[in-house]
């Protein structure tokens, strides 16, 4: 019985990337297929990378990626939108646990891709190799399971497409009553043709940036300089990739004037909302740096792709600047008042500009 629960949890984790038919009652074998509508990968050849991480739990069992797992894929999108010549692969460690049961596995998967640019469909095999310990008894596990499922882009540009491969798996797990924190953000770059290269270091840089932003989010109150550096690096990386392909006539779902760094904007926004809930951990200089980074990456202002999230970030920034103004006024710290004034001016916090300028002696 316990082994059955554990097996369900483990296979459910796998469905995040490759929903496996027959994975058990806790995890639906079929995933609802969204309508074939935009956004979609535009016609061309695409090469991408996803980073899977997180865990699921429920029904007395849990499973998690023991380390971030990198998935790579490449496919063509024909002019009619059909995906052809697609391949995918991934490998990584997974751990599972239930009462009296522990499992550790090396898992790998590979297969082909089909479907359409709006929903890329996976098929293939997932291999699981490892052991499970049940009440002190160790059992070796070697197993092949069929892989199926799909993913859709959320942000589409002629040169770059991004999204989250875990979206469908998350929905299936939630519907099955499981708690899930699994995400698998991906970024794909248009390449010249099958087998051609991406910009140098594409996969390594993307994986490193994803892990950096995840680690900063987990920190709670990361150093302001680290957040600023991440925003700058994400911007530089995207722009290098964007500049690598000349395709001005390809379709895009990016609204003009909006920043394209969707995943990084979302997570940096979450970092700011969490970190600035208690601004006492930051100096006025820190708040200024964070505010400038927020405006730069598109976490606030009219270039933010998510106005609701941007409004939340603006609120925490305003409260943080107001807090620093009160501190500076109380301490009669003119340098801090000057920084607060500059931050308030740059962010358009007009209510704070006058008091900050008076405090600064300007």
Partner 1 sequence: MTVKRTRAATITLSVASLIAVGSLAPHVGGASTAPSTTVVASVPASVATQDQRGEPIELGLTPLLLIGPAVTGAGERPEFSWEPVAGAATYSLAILTAADEPLWAWEGAGTTVILGGWATTPIPAAPGPLLTADAKWFVVAFDAQGLPIANSVMRPIAP
Residue 84: CB atoms within 10 A of its CB come to 13
Q: Under the criterion CB under 8 A, does residue 362 sit at the interface with partner 1?
A: yes
**6 with 26: CB under 8 angstroms?**
no
Which C-beta is closer to partner 1: that of 32 or that of 361?
A: 361
- Candidates 54, 258, 266, 312; binder of partner 1 (CB under 8 A) is 258
Where in 21-80 is the site for partner 1 (CB under 8 A)? none
Tokens coding 300: 């606030």
- Candidates 148, 209, 295, 320; binder of partner 1 (CB under 8 A) is 295
Which C-beta is closer to partner 1: that of 67 or that of 311?
A: 311
- Candidates 94, 101, 342, 359; binder of partner 1 (CB under 8 A) is 342
Where in 130-159 is the site for partner 1 (CB under 8 A)? 157-158
Q: How far apart are CA 38 and CA 105, in angstroms?
A: 37
Q: How far is the CB of 188 from partner 1 (least distance, A)?
A: 15
Minimal CA–CA distance to 128: which of 114, 145, 149? Answer: 145
- Candidates 252, 271, 318, 321; binder of partner 1 (CB under 8 A) is 252
**44 with 85: CB under 8 angstroms?**
no
Q: How far is the CB of 210 from partner 1 (least distance, A)?
A: 20
Count of residues touching partner 1 (by CB under 8 A):
45
Which C-beta is closer to partner 1: that of 62 or that of 155?
A: 155
Q: How far is the CB of 267 from partner 1 (least distance, A)?
A: 18
Where in 209-248 is the site for partner 1 (CB under 8 A)? 228, 235-236, 239, 242-243, 246, 248
DSSP for 308-344 reads HHHHHHHHHHHHHHHHHHHHHHHHT-HHHHHHHHHHH
Q: Under the criterion CB under 8 A, does residue 163 sit at the interface with partner 1?
A: no
- Candidates 259, 279, 282, 309; binder of partner 1 (CB under 8 A) is 259
Q: Under the criterion CB under 8 A, does residue 335 sit at the interface with partner 1?
A: yes
**27 with 160: CB under 8 angstroms?**
no
Phi, psi for residue 190 in degrees, rounded to 5: -65, 130
Q: Under the criterion CB under 8 A, does residue 102 sit at the interface with partner 1?
A: no
Q: Under the criterion CB under 8 A, does residue 298 sit at the interface with partner 1?
A: yes
Which C-beta is closer to partner 1: that of 7 or that of 293?
A: 293
Where in 189-208 is the site for partner 1 (CB under 8 A)? none
Q: Under the criterion CB under 8 A, does residue 290 sit at the interface with partner 1?
A: no
Which C-beta is closer to partner 1: that of 52 or that of 300?
A: 300
Tokens coding 299: 């976490």
> Alpha-carbon torsion 218, 310, 52, 104, what sign?
positive
Q: How far is the CB of 38 from partner 1 (least distance, A)?
A: 16
Contacts of 70 (CB under 8 A, 6+ apart): 49, 50, 51, 52, 90, 92, 203, 207
Burial class (CB in 10 A: 0-12, 13-18, 19+), 299: buried
Q: How far apart are CA 230 and CA 249, in angstroms?
A: 31
Q: How far apart are CA 344 and CA 295, in angstroms?
A: 12
> Alpha-carbon torsion 16, 128, 208, 216, what sign?
positive
Q: How far is the CB of 57 from partner 1 (least distance, A)?
A: 37
Q: Under the criterion CB under 8 A, does residue 327 sit at the interface with partner 1?
A: no
Q: How far apart are CA 186 and CA 70, in angstroms?
A: 10
Minimal CA–CA distance to 323: which of 361, 275, 362? Answer: 275
Q: Under the criterion CB under 8 A, does residue 361 sit at the interface with partner 1?
A: yes
Q: How far is the CB of 244 from partner 1 (least distance, A)?
A: 11
Please give the residue ranges that form the binding site for partner 1 (CB under 8 A). Answer: 157-158, 228, 235-236, 239, 242-243, 246, 248, 252, 254, 256-260, 285, 288-289, 291-296, 298, 300-303, 335, 338-339, 341-342, 345-348, 350, 357, 360-362
């Amino acid at each position: 019985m316990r082994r059955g629960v554990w097996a369900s949890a483990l296979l459910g984790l796998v469905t995040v990337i490759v929903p496996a038919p027959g994975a058990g009652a806790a995890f639906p074998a079929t995933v609802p297929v969204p309508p074939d509508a935009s956004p979609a990968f535009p016609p061309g050849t695409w090469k991408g990378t996803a980073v899977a991480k997180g865990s699921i739990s429920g029904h007395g069992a849990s499973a998690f990626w023991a380390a971030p797992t990198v998935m790579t894929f490449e496919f063509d999108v024909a002019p009619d939108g059909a995906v052809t010549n697609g391949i995918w692969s991934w490998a990584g460690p997974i751990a599972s646990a239930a009462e009296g049961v522990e499992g550790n596995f090396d898992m790998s998967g590979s297969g082909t891709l089909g479907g359409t640019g709006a929903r890329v469909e996976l098929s293939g095999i997932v291999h699981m190799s490892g052991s499970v310990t049940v009440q002190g008894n160790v059992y070796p596990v070697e197993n092949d399971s069929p892989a199926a499922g799909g993913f859709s882009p959320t942000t589409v540009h002629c040169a770059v497409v991004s999204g989250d491969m875990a979206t469908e798996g998350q929905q299936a797990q939630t519907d099955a009553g499981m708690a899930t924190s699994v995400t698998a953000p991906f970024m794909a770059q248009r390449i010249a043709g099958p087998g051609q290269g991406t910009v140098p270091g594409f996969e390594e840089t993307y994986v490193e940036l994803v892990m950096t932003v995840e680690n900063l989010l987990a920190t709670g109150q990361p150093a302001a300089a680290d957040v600023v550096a991440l925003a700058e690096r994400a911007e530089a990386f995207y722009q290098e990739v964007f500049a690598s392909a000349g395709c001005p006539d390809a379709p895009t779902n990016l609204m003009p004037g909006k920043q394209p760094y969707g995943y990084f904007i979302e997570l940096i926004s979450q970092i700011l909302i969490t970190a600035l809930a208690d601004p006492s951990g930051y100096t006025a200089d820190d708040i200024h740096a964070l505010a400038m980074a927020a405006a730069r990456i598109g976490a606030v202002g009219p270039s933010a792709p998510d106005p609701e999230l941007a409004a939340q970030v603006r609120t925490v920034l305003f409260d943080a600047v107001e807090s620093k103004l009160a501190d500076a006024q109380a301490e009669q710290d003119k340098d801090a008042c000057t920084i607060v004034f500059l931050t308030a001016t740059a962010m358009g916090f007009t209510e704070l500009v006058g008091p900050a300028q008076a405090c600064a002696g300007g």
